Amino acid sequence: MIQKKKICIAGATGFVGLELIKKIYFHPYVEIKYLFVKESIEDDIYKSLPKNIKNLPSLKKIDSKSISECDVFFSALPHAEIFKIVNEVYNLNPNTVIIDLSADFRLPNVTEYEKWYKVKHDSIQLQKSAVYGLSEIYRDKIKKANVISCPGCYPTSILLPLIPLLEKNMIDESEIIADSKSGYSGAGKKIYDQKLYPNIDENLAIYGVGHHRHMPEIDFYLSQFSKQKIQISFTPHLIPTFRGILSTIYIKSKKNIKDLSNCLMDKYNDEFFVEIIENKMINTNNVINTNKCNIAIYKNRSENNYIISSSIDNLLKGASGQAIQNFNIRFNFNENLGLI
């Protein structure tokens, strides 16, 4: 009989934290021991959860000692918040597995992190042991990691289709353009501040142009599969829908479309959560509320030009779903558990 893993979740009332609860509550090998919030513990968490989720632990303020009692600590806190507690947790119990959904452990180069996030990195030792949690790509490393850093939502949608093509040297590395559109939940609960985000249900907005914080993450992990340092052109947009990401990626290649498509299929043929779609336009509706990534590739009218589209649910495959997938990988559970 498999013993249940005791887990705790910080940031339990945020969009990502709630999605994590909705899924992992039904995981057969999980006991939710603590739910932590950064601020108010007066929130009625059940207002945002399905009626068949019951008997959760009461919300409480973040406490390192309580976290250290758990097998796994899921942190859905904003960037730089985990530094205040994670070092103490590690000192209390170095065997607690940390699965972080913020950006704090994604970039191995701490100087680069501090440049883009404008904050001092206070967990450098843990950063050295962190593994990037892009599940289908870094599975072997995730299996052995005690600090797993889940990718950003935009990077997940861009890295999954591009890494296999770069790995096989099939595309021009010097000219890659990614145009991504995300539901407004990607901005977190601050989107309800009308001064920052007026008319979110009737508006399409470009943002972070030329300086979005996911850019160094995308560039770094693409470069790991290339012979040169890659800098892509990346532009994000918020669209008037709550969840979902569709990334449109423009590439150049001297290969034909069949070769490119076969490369992606060979890479993901045995992957449950990645599907290569042929002869069909993809959309976000088919991936919403799933941990799936759908990928399609099309011939552009100009010679050697192709268009890739990639769709995910930003709150699941782009966040909490991938975190659960990484949890399953780490503890040698079926990767589907809690996700279908």
Nearest to 152 by CA among 338, 308, 323: 323
Marked catalytic residue, from 8, 150, 153, 263: 153
Measure the CA–CA gap between 170 and 227, rounded to whole angstroms: 12
Which residues, other chains included, contact 305 with Cβ-Cβ below 8 Å and sequence gap of 6+?
250, 251, 252, 299
Whether 153 is a known active-site residue: answer yes
- Give the active site residues: 153
